[in-house]
Amino acid sequence: MNRAFDVTRPCLVALLVLATWSWTAAAQDTQRIAAVVNDDVISTLDLAERVELVVRTTGLADNQESRERIRPQVMRTLIDERLQIQEAARLGVELLPGDVDGAVRFLERQNNVPEGKMLEILESRGVPAYTLLNQLEAELKWARLVQARVHRVVSITDADVDEVLERRAASQGKPEIRLAEIFLAAADPAQGTEVAAAANRMVEDIRAGANFAALARQFSQSASARTGGDLGWTLADQLAEDVATAVGDAPEGALIGPVAARGGYTIMLVVGRRTFGQVDVGDTMLNLELVALPLPTVVSEAEEQEQLARARAAASRITGCDDAEAAAEATPTSRHRVIGDYRLGDLVPELRTAVADLRPGGVSAPMVAGGVISILVVCDRREPTVTEPTRDEIRESLLSQRTELISHGYLRDLRRSAFLDVRL
């Protein structure tokens, strides 16, 4: 299915420019205007840095052709973020101390990156920290804005919850499907051709090896973007008609689309299929520890193989979590970290495969991802059981669905009323 997430993030200080530029050329380029959004300017440097972030975190081919292909979609994303930040400023929406740092920590946990290292790793790859931090700030402020609007206009009643429970009772034994999505919005028909072309280019990139979930986090304009596009389990007979037609009997791992959808285009990935009422293996809870061996920023094949040999030697000394830390201490440059409880289905595919069948005390083979070689040790394993969602969980799910509709409409209205001057 997908390649491992290569999502890591930078530190707050350095402004790095391409080594082939002279200082003067770089300074001149930072002053060029790529787009005007109401009273704000997006510079060509803003655009180049965000393009670099996307390339470094999604598995796209690291070449100029890839950068040129994604530039229009990156521009659309930057424009939307400026609109969101402007609306937050107009309404006085502020973040709490630690909100952005918390979002970075969430991404680190989600992608098995050692705590506090995401920004540092991105910086080492030429992506300034503020490129990611600005993106997270826009996401968090937009979420606050949408939530405030939702609470004013949406009410989930007991009757709504009862209807869901009745449907669940009637659904035992029916097929379910788990989809992930990347939704690209087209604010008006005039944008349809441009957005469709961007969606087709994205499908080509995914087929060439780009990471679906990382692209979803960067580009998808739906609430599922934060979780890599994952929509969770849905009864097959409750899919929207256009989605059901497009998906058909596609097997797990199938990439589908782009499909014309209400307000834009959707690219879908079939994550899994099962029968309603059966346990989901992905709900298995693992208690994990990590031994990580960092790779140099620029690493030769010989250096990587040498570090892999050290990792294999370390793994051979580990018989369980009691000696994982000692094995790390005995291995030059390695680090030990207690990850704690983690849902199997929330691990990226390569890590999930590596630990799926391990019992307590089991040790994974060394894996290369995110600039480190990782060894996972399973300290405990709790198998899933079938549980019904509580009424509060159903209420939250319904609220999330309606929040999505409001978010789309809100941003569409901001685009329509904005002054936009795109110069590239």
Mean pLDDT of 349-363: 89
- Max alpha carbon distance in the chain (Å)? 69
State the chain's mean pLDDT as an integer: 85
Quick count: other Cβ atoms within 10 Å of Cβ 106? 12
**pLDDT tens, 105-121?**
988 887 778 888 899 99
Number of residues written out for the chain: 424
Which comes out higher in pLDDT, residue 245 or 297? 245
Residue 9: the pLDDT is 32
pLDDT at residue 25 above 60? no
How would residue 29 be classed by pLDDT, with cut points 50, 70 and 90?
A: low
Q: List beta partners, residue 264.
A: 185, 261
pLDDT at residue 3 above 70? no
Of 268, 275, 272, 287, which is closest to residue 344 (Cα–Cα)?
Answer: 287
Which comes out higher in pLDDT, residue 337 or 299? 337
pLDDT at residue 51 above 80? yes
pLDDT at residue 126 above 80? yes
Give the C-alpha separation, 340 to 223, whole Å. 27
Which comes out higher in pLDDT, residue 80 or 188? 80
Residue 283: the pLDDT is 85
Residue 12: the pLDDT is 25
pTM comes to 0.68
Residue 30: the pLDDT is 53
Give the C-alpha separation, 235 to 214, whole Å. 26
- The single-letter code of the amino acid at 227 is T
Share of the chain above pLDDT 90, in %: 42
How would residue 84 be classed by pLDDT, with cut points 50, 70 and 90?
A: very high
pLDDT at residue 235 above 90? no
**Interior/surface letters 265-301, b for 16+ CB within 10 angstroms, e for the rest:** bbbbbbbbebebeeebebbbebbbbbbbbbbeeeeee
Residue 26: the pLDDT is 45
Q: List beta partners, residue 265.
A: 184, 260
Q: List beta partners, residue 267.
A: 182
Three-class SS of residue 231?
strand
Give the C-alpha separation, 229 to 399, whole Å. 18
Residue 410: the pLDDT is 92
Report residue 316 CA to chain centroid gap: 33
Residue 169: the pLDDT is 86
| Residue 42 parent element (H or E) | strand 40-43
Residue 139: the pLDDT is 93
Give the domains, in start order, of the chain with CATH numbers: 281-382 (3.10.50.40)
Residue 232: the pLDDT is 84
Q: List beta partners, residue 180.
A: 230, 269
**pLDDT tens, 85-105?**
999 999 999 999 899 999 999
pLDDT at residue 46 above 50? yes
Residue 31: the pLDDT is 63
Strand spans (E) along 145-205:
175-185
